[in-house]
Structure 1
């Protein structure tokens, strides 16, 4: 029997706000509306899907100087949680129950004072205590930022502030395109953010997409694989780190993306095995990275990735309890999700 599932990493945006996305161009494969209606089509709305966590979609911010678009994204999440869409925004009142949590962008590099100012504006954009309560953490993508960005004093101050206020931080780095240095920076970042902080106030890190390893290599003796594997075990030593089992399709060779789930599973098994061994099912959570996962894969990408993760569970012989953690329990624990209560 399928286990109830939380998709812990999806991106949604209305067509009317495409111009606010930093990566958008008219020819981009993810142009157009990507809302709850499209997500439901992609997942075939399985009854076991309990809900999703909405992750910021990289809105324009002018190197953290302009907060207009990120705050606009929070207003979009507010409409979603309220079940009050604008014209042609792709969701209904009933759909609001699917959004279990929101992880917006935040200007973490600016330091504690400016971050506090932003959080106040973000809370105002959320519009009500009930909606603001669904904001469980923040993200500032590091995958495309200059080396050393995460190690500045302001960034560390910002992370310590998030931890003190009980928020998690979604950490997105990219070994495939940026190399070993980004992995080393992630390790150093976590050490510095936790240094001198009481245990209960240490920020929780949720690592995105296996840290984007290079899945085009064919040998486990390749230096990039060895560096990534070593970093996974190093990161897992910190008990306040979690890993999202997601993002692999984007790192695959183009010829493999269209292959059946079983072929993809076989090709990336060494990486999946490392993550499972390092973090264990109690600190791994299912995530799809929809709609990014569909690029080059097709409309069945979500279902295909779900099958790959099922194969992970089967091959590892995970117990029923461990599988429940991987499919939903870990997300609930990491994001401190309470039973969803409609906010309006």
Structure 2
């Protein structure tokens, strides 16, 4: 539910009761992953989505029922060969959805309210909920913060609370949303409890080096994909707010010097658009040795060959050079800055999700897959 925290936090502040339907497991081809949520308030207002439209009507009904009877339920929705247009996922997948009411007198309401407020304000937050286990624990919630502190309790079992908090904090540190299996006594073994841990973390970073016209279009694409976008260029005449009004940050500095001092992590995307050796070589020498998600560089194949030679001379090894995506982007036949930005964005998504980049028409590859993610987990 943290993906719709802004609206739900407002509902909570206004004193509305509401029920939340959350995707807790996915099988096969399904449009949305664990953590996706749809909520219905006591007046019938809807926010969010769990399936892109396939089962929303049925889920809405479950939320209304949960508000009436106060019970938490887990329902499975899947494709039916007998009636493809009945309630189900006609795309062929299966999703498990947990529906939990948070009425005005709900015991978990204050914990959820704190979690929603923290997530809406951008604070790193994890919300751990029981999706399988003893009836008395189903729907139980624990709010875990980045420092390891937590609010809430699973039936007063402090040992279980501490174990769940440790698990949730580890997932929060990794920026992962997914499920974890625990025994009720807090040990790791089959059976016991299944938890859904939703992680709310700051958006991943995209750093665009080179304040050129292609960068203007890439900034817009990066924002559309949910990145915090920084533009860096050593030339102040080009790195201006007038040219990059949508960028989160504008930096005038030598690219390699800025990269050395700025914060990056395993979700960071680096796009080098300068195609000038005096900028590219020292920058890429550093970038290709950092644990970031993606490093791509613009330029012709001749530029790439020359850059590759210079990087080898600078001491980079085969494994490091293999991380470089150059020329950056998928082969879309792109010409304009906007088309080129689309090709770069498409390669970034393919790299993140484990996609092949080939047309889906006639392909045997899955439509929805996370080839580079752990089973049962999705990036936040």
TM over 0.5: no
Identify which of structures 1 and 2 has the higher relative contact order when contacts are C-alpha pairs closer than 8 Å and 6+ apart.
Answer: 1
Q: Which has the higher helix share?
A: 1
Q: TM-score, normalising length from structure 1?
A: 0.30
Q: Which structure: larger Rg?
A: 2
Q: Which has the higher strand share?
A: 2
